[in-house]
Amino acid sequence: MNDRPVSGRAMGCVGSKVGEWLLWGAIIAVALGVLRWIDLPEMLRRYGGDIVHLAVQHLGLAALSGGLAILVGIPVGIILSRPSFAKISEPGARVLTIGSTIPSLAILALSMSWLGIGTPPAVFALWAVTLLPIVRNTMAGLRGVDPYLLEAGRGMGMTPMQLLVRVELPNAMYVLLAGVRTALAINVGTVPMAFLIGGGGLGELIFTGIDLNEPAMMLAGAIPTAGLAVLVDFSLGLIAYYLVPRGVNPLR
């Protein structure tokens, strides 16, 4: 009777491992194809300095906007899901859903029209794009916690804060982190566009390469960008694996 869930978990683990290897295989195959098509040493010689400089800028944009979005998004999600905010949490969630259908490019444009050109509007736009899914998933995760768990916790004499930290957040963690993962994927995918409003980053190589019809230049921006996206997603998967308590973690 107790063996079934355990073996089920092991199966899930094997399944996700296979999926992961397939994914990596595909990435490597694509990378090899690309490498045969371009002259890698030549590319590095011509754009190496730019790549490093712009990648640092790129990472800075992503880290700053993403970090701020997490710092603001999770608390806002928590506050909106408190019973005292029940009145505004429903319409709030609807606004957020509509908000996340606005294309990133439009948000960049809006941000530029308001804050002008440069790094601040770029960071602000990226922050806004990243914020919405985080708030939404934090709310969804907390709202998805079984009400009987809350009653049990309250009935045992937990204060609202103890209930949040010991029961609500751990049980919402899986959904919450899935939101962070999606949000950062969107963020990293949008960072190249920040160049369009003067934010810098690897987008500079990509868009200039397109404009000048220079594939090597474009790829010098695109390959690190793609690598970065994969890296961010991978590390977040790893973090989620260890941060979500074992009892509520479908992966372990």
Partner 1 sequence: MIKLERLTKIYETPVRKVVAADHIDMEVPTGEICVLLGPSGCGKTTTLKMVNRIVTPTGGRVLIDGQDTTDIPTVELRRKIGYVIQQIGLFPNMTVEENICVVPRLLGWDAAKARRRAAELLELTALDPATFLKRYPKELSGGQQQRVGVARALAADPPVMLMDEPFGAIDPINRAAIQDEFLKLQEKLHKTILFVSHDIDEAVKMGDKIAIFRAGRLEQIDSPDNVLAHPAQPFIADFVGADRTIKRLGLIRVADAMTSDAPVLSLGADPVLAQAMLHESGAAALVIVTPEGKPHGFMTAASSFGPGSTCGHASTPIAASVSVAADLRTAVSRMFENDVEWLSCVDDEGRHVGALEMRRIRHLLGRTYEAGGRA
Q: Of 68 and 243, which has the nearer Cβ to partner 1?
A: 243
CA neighbours within 13 Å on the CB side: how many for 231? Answer: 9
Is position 90 an interface residue for partner 1 (rule: CB under 8 A)?
no
Q: Of 208 and 249, which has the nearer Cβ to partner 1?
A: 249
Assigned token pair, 70 = 């997490």
* Backbone conformation region of residue 159, classed left if phi is above 0, alpha if psi is from -120 to 50, else beta: beta
Out of 140, 162, 178, 189, which residue is the one contacting partner 1 (CB under 8 A)? Answer: 162
Q: How many residues bind partner 1 (CB under 8 A)?
A: 26
Residues 125-145 as b/e (b if ≥16 CB within 10 A, e otherwise) read: bbbbbbbbbbbbbbbbbbbeb
Q: Of 41 and 147, which has the nearer Cβ to partner 1?
A: 147
**CA-wise closest residue to 214 among 47, 55, 3:** 47
Is position 251 an interface residue for partner 1 (rule: CB under 8 A)?
no
Q: Which residues contact 144 (CB under 8 A, 6 or more apart)?
A: 172, 175
Q: Of 42 and 146, which has the nearer Cβ to partner 1?
A: 146
Is position 178 an interface residue for partner 1 (rule: CB under 8 A)?
no
Is position 13 an interface residue for partner 1 (rule: CB under 8 A)?
no
CB of residue 46 to partner 1, shortest distance in Å:
53
Candidate segments 30-38, 42-50, 68-76, 159-167, binder of partner 1 by CB under 8 A? 159-167
**CA-wise closest residue to 236 among 84, 83, 70:** 70
